[in-house]
């Protein structure tokens, strides 16, 4: 592979890593939202069971749905985050391998000439 082709491949890999990092960040946000939903649903269910604030059966069913939806969303996003992290690690390893194959030259500091 020529240096130009390697450079293009490295650029493509870096773009993929950035896209995967955005996906991972989005998963982290959904994971946080899922945890909040689970906590809120559990708190609302407790309030419904204890009968505070005159909540009824609808609030209890809604809280159960909130907890279950949060659990499903949490599991899905954790799985996606793990897969994305694995893909990022594989892309970084490939990038490192391509960089090591390039014949890099050391650019020495030249003395500065004052004009």
The pLDDT-based confidence of 3 (bands split at 50, 70, 90) is low
Give mean pLDDT, residues 43-62.
82
Question: Is the pTM here over 0.85, yes or no?
Answer: no
Cα angle value 54/58/40 (rounded, 5°)? 80
The 8 Å CB, 24+ separation contacts for 67-76 are 67/37, 67/38, 67/41, 67/42, 68/41, 69/37, 69/41, 70/34, 70/35, 70/36, 70/37, 70/38, 70/41, 71/34, 71/38, 73/30, 73/33, 73/34, 73/37, 74/31, 74/34, 74/35, 74/38
The pLDDT-based confidence of 2 (bands split at 50, 70, 90) is low
Q: DSSP character for 51?
A: T
The pLDDT-based confidence of 48 (bands split at 50, 70, 90) is confident
């Amino acid at each position: 592979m020529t240096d130009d082709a390697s450079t293009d491949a490295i650029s493509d890999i870096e773009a993929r890593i950035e896209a995967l990092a955005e996906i991972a960040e989005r998963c982290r946000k959904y994971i946080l939202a899922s945890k909040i939903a689970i906590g809120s649903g559990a708190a609302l269910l407790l309030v419904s069971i204890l009968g505070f604030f005159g909540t009824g059966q609808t609030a209890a069913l809604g809280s159960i749905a909130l907890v279950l939806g949060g659990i499903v969303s949490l599991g899905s996003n954790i799985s996606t985050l793990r897969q994305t992290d694995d893909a990022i690690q594989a892309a970084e390893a490939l990038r490192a391998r391509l960089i090591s194959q390039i014949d890099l030259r050391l650019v020495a500091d030249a003395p500065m000439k004052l004009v």
